[in-house]
């Protein structure tokens, strides 16, 4: 007999009246006066549950195990698929055979009972929370976002490149890193974490420098992996371990890479609208938020671009910062960004051409010699989702920046060689995957869009 997924049933892929096998978990169970038992089963393939109708008169044994089953039990069901007369659901299964595979041992203590739980409560049960509708929806969208990104770049002739997780370089130059130590099994071994690799190494904060090497040969590349940052910031938008997409495009400038981003974001969002509509509807119902319209509107417009200098001007005009301050001396903080995105523009924006002093060594100096060809993309209620720049491809300028920032030039020998041998103008960006998922789903805390969040003082599960 065919084992089917609930998603396929709701996509009309299974013939009505066929006998099917469904495997999943009980979400709800209700008795009716007419000796019927209604069991809602989910299998994670979609947000819908499938109603199983058990006619108790047909059970050979009146103490059949299904009578004692509770939400959370895993079940195996065989039955006939029928169109439901009930307006709430399109399909149901008239049961022939049903078995409990795994029991919920102490049902009163089951933390994922069918009542609604707060996101904070669910965080204490990161191993069980995927059983809830909300985390199920987030997980399916997360998976689709990953898929659509690979799909977009594959279709546009980019190559996926693996950048190393263990590295000795702090690409961004700012912020603390997690060091990688060699843990000795036996005493007396002379290895220490410093001499295992011959130098001190860390978990990577960015794969950018590595993929620049590949962009200077394969032209269009990206890397996509976990990133580690030891920022001691316990906010709703920071994780110590998060996922970043990084893209690098040879023979390109700032405008070219921003164009790639606009196309990519639209591709991802359109993909989610096409493939995860029911998950999005669930968020709309839960948060009373018009998420689908927000995403559709996103497809209609290009993200607004402004220069850093003009962003500062707006802040001055609105008395958020002092009138006579010089724009090169003011670093945008979170409050400034919030004002610009949430209050002033009320839509995603790209801020470009930042003063060089606020940005890392690798960004290309503009002809004014004061700003760099860099940009941040800010989204309402979240802030920065993407950061990128044109890279400094001219060795003299690059060396000057390395000196200005007092970095050790010997650490960058291989990176500088990319500028010695066949250098090329190139640009790239990094996208914080979890922050993009926050935008798509409307989820307010980044800890809820990654399965097992790592944050200061929290590496449980």
| Residues making contact with Mg ion (CB under 5 A) | 387
**What is the CA 34 to chain-centroid distance, rounded?**
47
**Pairing outcome for strands 304-307 and 241-250:** unpaired
Return the sign of the alpha-carbon dihedral for residues 195, 199, 203, 207: negative
| Residue from 434, 429, 435 nearest 379 by CA | 435
| Residue from 372, 337, 334, 369 nearest 352 by CA | 372
Residue 348 binds ligand 4AD (CB under 6 A): no
> Are 397 and 372 in contact, with CB atoms under 8 Å apart?
no
CB of 388 to Mg ion, least distance (A): 9
Residue 238 site contact among ligand 4AD, Mg ion, none (CB < 5 to 8 Å, cut-off depends on kind): ligand 4AD
| Residue from 36, 116, 41 nearest 73 by CA | 41
CB of 373 to ligand 4AD, least distance (A): 12
Per-residue contact flags (x/-) with ligand 4AD for residues 206 to 235, judged by CB under 6 A: x-x--------------------x-x----
- Minimum CB distance to Mg ion smaller for 332 or for 398: 332
* Residue 262 structure tokens: 């606009």
Residue 49 site contact among Mg ion, ligand 4AD, none (CB < 5 to 8 Å, cut-off depends on kind): none
* Residue 33 structure tokens: 């006066």
Residue 429 site contact among Mg ion, ligand 4AD, none (CB < 5 to 8 Å, cut-off depends on kind): ligand 4AD
Binding residues among 379-408 for ligand 4AD as defined by CB under 6 A: 384-388
Q: Which residues contact 216 (CB under 8 A, 6 or more apart)?
A: 250, 418, 422, 423, 424, 426
Binding residues among 144-183 for ligand 4AD as defined by CB under 6 A: 171-172
CB of 360 to Mg ion, least distance (A): 9
Backbone angles phi, psi at 46, to 5 degrees: -160, 175
Q: Which residue of this chain has its Cβ atom nearest to ligand 4AD in the complex?
A: 432
Distance CA 187, CA 208 (A): 38
Helix (H, G, I), strand (E, B) or coil at 452: coil
Residue 239 binds ligand 4AD (CB under 6 A): yes
CB of 334 to Mg ion, least distance (A): 12
Binding residues among 417-446 for ligand 4AD as defined by CB under 6 A: 428-430, 432, 434-435
Which positions lie near ligand 4AD, rule CB under 6 A?
Answer: 171-172, 206, 208, 229, 231, 238-239, 242, 244, 246, 384-388, 428-430, 432, 434-435
């Amino acid at each position: 007999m065919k084992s089917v997924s609930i998603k396929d049933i709701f996509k009309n892929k299974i013939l009505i009246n066929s006998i099917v096998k469904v495997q999943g978990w009980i979400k709800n169970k209700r008795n009716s006066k007419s000796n019927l038992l209604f069991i809602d089963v989910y299998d994670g393939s979609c947000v819908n549950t499938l109603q199983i109708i058990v006619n108790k008169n047909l059970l050979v044994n009146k103490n059949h195990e299904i009578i004692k089953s509770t939400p959370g039990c895993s079940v195996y069901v065989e039955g006939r698929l029928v169109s439901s007369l009930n307006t709430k659901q399109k399909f149901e299964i008239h049961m022939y055979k049903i078995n409990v595979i795994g029991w919920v041992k102490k049902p009163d203590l089951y933390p994922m009972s069918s009542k609604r739980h707060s996101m904070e409560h669910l965080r204490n049960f990161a191993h069980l929370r995927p059983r809830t509708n909300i985390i199920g929806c987030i997980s399916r969208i997360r998976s689709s976002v990953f898929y659509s990104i690979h799909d977009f770049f594959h279709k546009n002739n980019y190559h996926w490149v693996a950048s190393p997780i263990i590295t000795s370089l702090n690409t961004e130059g700012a912020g603390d890193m997690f060091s990688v130590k060699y843990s000795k099994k036996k005493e007396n071994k002379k290895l220490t974490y410093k001499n295992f690799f011959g130098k001190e190494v860390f978990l990577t904060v960015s794969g950018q420098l590595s993929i620049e090497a590949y962009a200077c040969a394969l032209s269009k590349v990206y890397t996509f992996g976990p990133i580690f940052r030891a920022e001691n910031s316990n906010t709703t938008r920071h994780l110590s371990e998060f996922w970043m997409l990084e893209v690098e495009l040879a023979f390109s400038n700032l405008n070219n890479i921003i164009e790639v981003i606009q196309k990519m974001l639209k591709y991802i969002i359109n993909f989610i609208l096409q493939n995860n509509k029911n998950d999005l509807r669930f968020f709309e119902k839960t948060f009373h938020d018009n998420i689908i319209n927000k995403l559709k509107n996103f497809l209609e417009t290009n993200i607004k671009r402004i220069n850093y200098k003009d962003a500062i001007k707006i802040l001055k005009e609105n008395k958020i910062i002092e009138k006579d301050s010089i724009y090169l001396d003011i670093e945008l903080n979170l409050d400034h960004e919030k004002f610009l995105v949430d209050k002033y523009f009320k839509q995603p924006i790209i801020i470009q051409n930042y003063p060089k002093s606020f940005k890392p060594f690798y960004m290309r100096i503009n002809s004014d010699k004061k700003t760099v060809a860099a940009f941040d993309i800010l989204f309402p209620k979240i802030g920065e989702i993407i950061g990128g720049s044109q890279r400094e491809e001219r060795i003299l300028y690059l060396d000057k920046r390395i000196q200005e920032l007092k970095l050790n030039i010997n650490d960058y020998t291989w990176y500088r060689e990319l500028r010695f041998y066949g250098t090329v103008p190139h640009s790239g960006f990094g996208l914080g995957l979890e922050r993009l998922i926050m935008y798509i789903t409307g989820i307010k805390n980044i800890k809820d869009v990654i399965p097992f969040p790592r944050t200061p003082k929290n590496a449980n599960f």
